[in-house]
Amino acid sequence: MATQSLVTDAQKRIGWDFKLREQSRPYDIFGLKRGVYRDGARVSDAIIVKKTATNGEQTTTVSMLRDLSGAGRTGAQSLLGFEELQTTMEMRVYADELKHGVPYEAYGYKANAAKPYGFTAKIQPQLSDWNRKVEGRRIRESLCMGVDNTIVTGAQSDGASKAYPHSNIFVVQGNAIAEPAFSPVIATYAGAVNTAVGSIAHPTDLIFLDELAEKLTTAENPMVGLNGENGEAMYFLTVPPKTATKIYGLLAAAYKETSNEKALLGKLGKVYRCFCIVEDVFAPRVAVTGSTLTFSYRGVTDGRAAAANATPDVGFILGPEAVIEYEMEPLHFDYETQDYGRKKGVGSFVTKGFNRVDWEAVQGTLTAQRYNTSSALVLFKSN
């Protein structure tokens, strides 16, 4: 186990500076609108829903009963032989372990030097904060690639086989919106996104939001919205800081929010048409080539690729049940003791996974007809 070495020479000499300055953490939109997945129930009004695993589960399949879509029969026409069969779609959700720890010395020379600062008492809160930051990154990973990276690198399930870019991608080309055609062949799909990104540009008018709203609501499978005022569908639209500044400026004159929208947003963002627009300081980026889409993220540290024309920022359109949080074991803390109680450690442990809600007609089969009506990615110019 590593030894405690937090107290520097400068800290040893300055006996009065015992109040630690802790880093502040930017607000994360994914701390809002969370709920519980209920088997057999209608879709809830939460962006992220938690499904708790039963004992013995290592994965589980959730199903959706699709609406009837047949034409029916009229007049004297016989219905016999023209009935419509019920159809379902399904998806499998996964989880894996995530752990972290901090060592310290309980007594001795180093422990005595650290006592005035209260380092030990801050370990568990630090680990809790670390888990919150990582969880925000994991949610974004799942929205971009289907499952979070802990599931992919943990490799204790076959969840990595589900990792694939979102089937709903929009590219902001100034005041126009491009929608690359989805393909189950990654090189083909990346090529379509690359072509659209070639014309990426910052918006100069709110027309681009009008067009984006129209695409959501007039699609063959319209995107399901959160409950807005008077039963109108509303969507969270997360935007990177550079774009947020531009959009908020455009909205300054036109901006008007209802009391219901104020209750939903507080001071988080602005409302325009069907969008609750929220700045996302953790917005990922995606490096786009003619054959690949490579996402990078900001979590505990900023691992995002540099801003460039071919590396746009990623925003999210979020409706109800966009992500399923599949939890086997909630966050808990355990303790390690060695060397006659001198060397100790605090560890945090959680077993869960974040899974983008992509319904499939045949489980495990990636087709051109993926059914996702609860989320989308929006690519914005990053430089």
Contact 261, 228 (CB under 8 A): yes
The neighbouring-strand residues paired with 99 are 349
Q: Given the structure tokens 């405690």, which residue do they identify?
A: 4
Compute φ and ψ for 242, nearest 5 degrees: -60, -45
What's the CA gap between 137 and 25, in Å, rounded? 14
Q: Which residues pair with 102 in a beta bridge?
A: 346
Q: What are the backbone angles phi and psi of residue 334, rounded to the nearest 5°? A: -130, 170
Q: Cα–Cα distance between 86 and 90 in angstroms, integer?
A: 14
**Chain segment 286-324, per-residue pLDDT in tens:** 999 999 999 999 988 999 999 999 999 999 999 888 999
Cα angle: 214, vertex 218, 223; to 5 degrees: 90
The encoded tokens of residue 208 equal: 């681009």
pLDDT at 344: 93
d(CA 169, CA 173): 13
276 sits in which H/E element = strand 275-279
- 64 strand-pairing partners: 89
17-66 pLDDT, tens digit each: 444 444 455 567 776 556 555 555 445 678 888 889 888 888 888 877 77
Is pLDDT above 50 for 234?
yes
pLDDT tens for 139-197 read 999 999 999 999 998 888 788 888 999 999 999 999 999 999 999 899 999 999 999 99
Per-residue confidence band for 245, with pLDDT thresholds at 50, 70 and 90: confident
Find all residues with CB under 8 Å of 2, minimum gap 6, and list them.
Answer: 103
Indicate the domain borders of the chain: 167-322+362-380
Placement of tokens 């990276």 in the chain: 149
| Amino acid (1-letter code) at residue 155 | A
233-239 and 275-279 as β-strands: parallel, antiparallel, unpaired? parallel
Mean pLDDT of the chain: 83
Write down the pLDDT at residue 17. Answer: 43
Q: Supply 224's token pair.
A: 């399901």
CA dihedral 236, 153, 325, 32 (to 10 degrees): -40
**Contact residues for 273 (Cβ-Cβ < 8 A; gap 6+):** 209, 210, 213
Contact indicator for 308, 289 with CB cutoff of 8 Å: no
CA 363 remoteness from chain centre: 23
Calculate ∠ Cα 46-182-242, nearest 5°: 60
Count of beta carbons in the 10 Å neighbourhood of residue 61: 10
30 vs 52: CA distance, rounded Å: 19
With pLDDT > 70 as the criterion, what percentage of the chain qualifies? Answer: 80
Compute φ and ψ for 159, nearest 5 degrees: -60, -25
Residue 223 bridge partners (DSSP):
none
Q: Report the alpha-carbon distance of residue 32 to residue 48 in Å, rounded.
A: 9
Q: Could you give the CA distance from residue 272 to residue 234 in angstroms, rounded to a whole number?
A: 10
SS (H, E, C) 165-231: CCCCEEEEECCEEECCCCCCCHHHHHHHHHHHHCCCECCCCCHHHHHHHHHHHHCCCCCCCEECHHH
Q: Are the C-beta atoms of 263 and 205 separated by less than 8 Å? A: no
pTM: 0.84
Q: Which residues contact 334 (CB under 8 A, 6 or more apart)?
A: 346, 347, 349
- Whole-number Å distance between alpha carbons of 197 and 9: 52
